[in-house]
Amino acid sequence: MRSKSTRLRAAATLLFALALSLSVAACGSSSDSSSSTEGGEGGAGAIVSNPENGKVSLTIGSKNFPEQEILGEIYAQALKAAGYKTKSDLNLGSETVALKAVKSGTISGYPEYASTALTSFFGLEPEEVPSDATEAWEKSNEEFEKEGLTAFEPTPFASANAVGLLKTTAEKYDLKTISDLEGVSEELSLYGSPECRQRIDCLAGLEELYGLKFKSFHPVDISLRYTVLEKGQADLSILFTTDPQLSAEKNKFVILEDDKHVFPAGNVLFVTKKSTAEKAGPDYEKTIVEVQKGLTLEVMQELDARVELEKQTPKEAAAAYLKSAGYTG
């Protein structure tokens, strides 16, 4: 039953992405050759291929939105450059599905936000999530280890949910922080993912921790989060702080400051089974930690922009990152 729903959701997201971008299926073909396995020379941090690693097969997963798929591709291509036999199984759906896939061994590992791990997997309240990246990592790792899992060092960038709106709306109501919504939220409609309604780091938190009431809440596919604002359907929409639109179109879209910390920010941790890490040898962790060092907020936004705005495939964006940062030749 679950695999059916996963497939349905995967198909759903895929079709949405396809239909919205009007991109043709052909772009995915012949992409397997895009990652070069002959690292060695080139940039300073170039990944060296170790023939020993050829005995190990890895499957890198990701959740079902562009940023995740880009990260999944970056890890997969970097590990391939390090000599591993690598496959990717992106677009796995929600974190629950992705975590189960790691535990069952369907995938070797996937990138997860520390904040999501702590709240969704380990039951912390949003305000209990440490704002320090290392602290959040250590806290997550304590919990992961109890389940035979381990999380590698966090990425430099962090991502969080945010309440976004058109700049014109923000100016009309003079909104800068989420608290400013008090008194006007009753006139405003909010759009978010179908899960948002009940999540404490989403609508439930806005209602309970900020004490806000909205005119209405509408569930939509994540890929439509800017469309609903642009079409004037949504007054407010749940966005991500790493969204490229926020820097590329800062005269159009703005986000409200989360002054009560309902949306904890999370750096990305690569989650894997301890046994997988041992079997794969030292290059596994080394490659992942090394390759994500260049992933600052600006770089991540730029990569998101390539996929969400310029309609590149996550595979292409990841390959471009690895090349320009000197990881592959």
Partner 1 sequence: MSAMPVLASFGGAFEFIFTPQRSNVTGGNGVGGIHQVVELALTQLEVTVLAMALALVIALPAGLYFGHRGTGELLAIGLGNAGRAVPELALIALMAAVIGVGLLNLTVALAILGIPPILTNTFVGIREVDRASVEAARGIGMTEFEIVRKVEAPMAIPSIFTGIRTATINIVATATIAPLAGVATLGEFIIGENVYGDNGVLAGAILVALLALALEFGLAAIQRRLTSKGLKLTPV
- Residues of this chain that bind partner 1 (CB under 8 A): 1-2, 4-5, 8-9, 11-12, 15-16, 18-20, 93-97, 119-123, 125-126, 191, 193-195, 197-201, 204-205, 208, 218-221, 224, 227-228, 231, 233
The CB-of-224 to partner 1 minimum distance in angstroms stands at: 6
The CB-of-294 to partner 1 minimum distance in angstroms stands at: 30
The CB-of-56 to partner 1 minimum distance in angstroms stands at: 30
Q: Which is nearer to partner 1, 19 or 48 (CB)?
A: 19
Residue count of the chain, please give it: 329
Q: Quote the CA–CA distance of 210 and 47 in Å, as a whole number.
A: 47
Q: Which is nearer to partner 1, 50 or 233 (CB)?
A: 233
The CB-of-9 to partner 1 minimum distance in angstroms stands at: 6
Q: Quote the CA–CA distance of 291 and 167 in Å, as a whole number.
A: 36
The CB-of-37 to partner 1 minimum distance in angstroms stands at: 36
CA 109, 113, 116, 118 torsion: positive or negative?
positive
Q: What Å distances lie between residue 232 and 176, 178, 214, 215, 226, CA to CA?
A: 20, 20, 16, 15, 10
Q: Quote the CA–CA distance of 67 and 73 in Å, as a whole number.
A: 10
Count CA atoms within 13 Å of residue 255 on its CB side: 20
Q: Quote the CA–CA distance of 271 and 231 in Å, as a whole number.
A: 38
Q: Which is nearer to partner 1, 6 or 276 (CB)?
A: 6
Name the residue among 12, 67, 84, 25 with its Cα closest to residue 308.
67
Distance from chain centroid for Cα 189? 25
Q: Which is nearer to partner 1, 200 or 291 (CB)?
A: 200
- The residues facing 189 across adjacent strands are 216
The CB-of-125 to partner 1 minimum distance in angstroms stands at: 6
Query: What backbone phi and psi angles, to 5 degrees, belong to 244?
Result: -65, -25
DSSP summary character for residue 42: S
Tokens (6 digits) for 189? 């409609």
Q: What angle do CA 83, 88, 89 make, to 5 degrees?
A: 155
Q: Which is nearer to partner 1, 47 or 118 (CB)?
A: 118
Q: Which is nearer to partner 1, 20 or 48 (CB)?
A: 20
The CB-of-281 to partner 1 minimum distance in angstroms stands at: 33
Q: Which is nearer to partner 1, 89 or 125 (CB)?
A: 125
Q: Which is nearer to partner 1, 26 or 44 (CB)?
A: 26
Q: Quote the CA–CA distance of 292 and 194 in Å, as a whole number.
A: 31
The CB-of-237 to partner 1 minimum distance in angstroms stands at: 11
